[in-house]
Amino acid sequence: MVMPTAQSAPIMLELVDEDGRTIGTAEKLSAHQPPGHLHRAFSVFLFDADGRLLLQQRALGKYHSPGVWSNTCCGHPYPGEAPFTAAARRVYEELGVSPSLLREAGTVTYNHPDPASGLVEQEYNHLFAGTVTRLPQPDPEEVAQILFVTPEELEKKHAEGPFSAWFMTVLDAARPAIRELTGPAAGW
């Protein structure tokens, strides 16, 4: 596994085929340039003890989708890094907490252009759902703010916008695992 250091740039991503098999690597920004290159990613959905989803508003300094609301955490594994490991790592880096529970919630492939940035999210996305028991301490370079929401509150917040281009795709794909995790009473 090649992990970037302070002296090394650029950040590399794993390119994959439609079945999620690694076929190469590409620099992070170039993988997101139109028309985009299918690459490995992950999305995390964490819930508190009351079954509320932890949302994050992406920091305004992010090169891609700054200031929009999105799922708890998302990102890209380093080449050779397991998606589960990358998801747990990024939750800690962005939110300052480790999930109390984190389990696989499927995969989804999509191609979502982001009109605001002109970039493209063409991803083979590994989904994870879990719980968090401590209050997150977000890194302000990554996260502008956080919010725990019920399904009803999410519906209202989503209508107010803006949300990441990929948010509803990954949420809908993860719903079966989320329902299993939170129980039917939570309403997910």
Catalytic residue positions, numbered: 74, 123
Q: Are strands 22-27 and 119-131 parallel, antiparallel or unpaired?
A: unpaired
Q: Coil, helix or strand for 61?
A: coil
What is the C-alpha R_g of the chain? 16
Q: Coil, helix or strand for 111?
A: strand
Burial class from Cβ neighbours inside 10 Å (0-12, 13-18, 19+) for residue 48 reads: middle
User: H or E element: which one contains 44?
Assistant: strand 39-47
Number of H helices, E strands in the chain: 4, 9
Dist. CA 48–CA 69, nearest whole Å: 18
In this structure, are residues 125 and 38 in contact, taking their beta carbons and an 8 Å threshold? no
Tokens describing residue 120:
């493209």
